[in-house]
Amino acid sequence: MFDRIRTAAILGVHQATVAIGISAFPLVVFARNQLGINIPVHRLVETTGEAYENVET
């Protein structure tokens, strides 16, 4: 039972980070092109994706 709750929670966190990454995309592109700043949103999405995959196995 707790495994299902944990899996659902991790899936929710992963989906939220994907949504944040998509929403922040214009800001990230602006920051990189105009300000020369890299914002590593992809690392957060990859980390949560890997955590979700590890729960499934």
d(CA 36, CA 20): 21
Which pLDDT score is estimated for 57?
A: 56
- The 10s digit of each residue's pLDDT in 1-57 is 778 898 899 889 989 988 988 998 888 888 888 988 887 878 888 888 888 888 865
**Positive or negative, the Cα torsion across 17, 18, 20, 26?**
positive
Q: What is the per-residue pLDDT for 15?
A: 92
Specify the pLDDT at position 42.
81
Distance between CA atoms of residues 13 and 29, nearest Å: 23
pLDDT at 40: 81
The HSE-up count of residue 37 (CA atoms within 13 Å, CB side) is: 7
19/29 Cα distance (integer angstroms): 16
Domain ranges of the chain: 2-56
pLDDT at 56: 64
